[in-house]
Amino acid sequence: MSEYFRVLKQLEEDEREPQRPVSKPVAVPRKSAHPEPALMPVKKPGSSPPALARTSSTSASYATLLGNLRALGGAEAIRLVVFASPGTNTTVRPVTTGLANHAGGLGLDVFAATLAESAGHFVLTQLLDAGGRGEKTEPLALDLHRTVWQSDFTDWLSRLTPTPDLVLLEGPPLEQSADAALLARACDGLVIVAETEVTPRELLRLAAERARLAECRTLGVVMHGTKDYLPAWLHRLLGGSGPAPLSSARD
């Protein structure tokens, strides 16, 4: 068992501690030789371990992801999602654009934007190549450490015409700051994007800790490059019924 899977096992053990509610990865062994990222759901306290759906095509993968994001919301639909990586060595762009373009192809109105630092402050800038939304929106400067930023953010979203069905936001790496987690507090939740056997143990822990301290809702973790071999302890997590799984999604 590789060092990376030892890290995931340690994270699984940490999740059992009430003070450290860390996302639990769940996966299914597969024979495909092509690596694909797996979006792993967070286990809710008291629930049975959820299973991770896997599909063979990109379109079906994002369809599963979209459907399960909706299912996670229950009666209140999940509409605003923040994606962020633990460190600078992983990009979230393939996930945000892939999901945005898939949802847009289904006829949903999708708005995607990225939060990046510019001239010493953060700016939310629309991603024009994601979702097929033709209307250009002016960027929004945000200071996430001021109390008024949430009202500025809400006003900015309210000016989007037509009102989008889905809003996907890219946050800065959690290694740099908790800004992505702070942004997620004003949204429906945070999705952490990591990379198998690349994202270091300390960055996984740091990302989970910063999300916890920010008190945002963590929806799950995207794992890029999942290999064919998966340890038995991951496979054992498939038993029982629990919250709806998210999905795997291949680049």
Q: Output the average pLDDT for the chain.
A: 70
More confident residue, 5 or 113: 113
68 domain-assigned: yes
242 domain-assigned: yes
Domain count, the chain: 1
From edge to edge, which strands make up the β-sheet containing 247-248?
Answer: 140-142, 121-126, 110-118, 166-170, 80-84, 189-195, 218-226, 36-41, 247-248
* Residue span of the structural domain in which 217 resides: 3-15+32-248
**In the 8-state DSSP scheme, what is residue 20?**
-
* Of the candidates 204, 145, 222, 221, the residue with the CA atom closest to the CA atom of residue 179: 145
More confident residue, 143 or 135: 143
139 domain-assigned: yes
20 domain-assigned: no
More confident residue, 30 or 175: 175
Q: What is the pLDDT of residues 158-178, one digit of tens each?
A: 998 888 999 999 999 999 999
Note the pLDDT of residue 10.
56
Contacting residues for 138 by C-beta, under 8 A, at least 6 apart:
none
CATH of the domain at 149: 3.40.50
23 domain-assigned: no
25 domain-assigned: no
Pairing of strands 80-84, 140-142: unpaired
Contact 174, 125 (CB under 8 A): no
155 domain-assigned: yes
Note the pLDDT of residue 244.
33
> d(Cα 94, Cα 83) in Å, to the nearest integer?
11
- The answer on pLDDT for 234 being more than 70 is no
**In the predicted model, what is the mean pLDDT of residues 44-48?**
39
189 domain-assigned: yes
Q: What is the pLDDT of residues 180-221, one digit of tens each?
A: 999 999 999 998 887 777 778 788 788 888 998 999 988 877
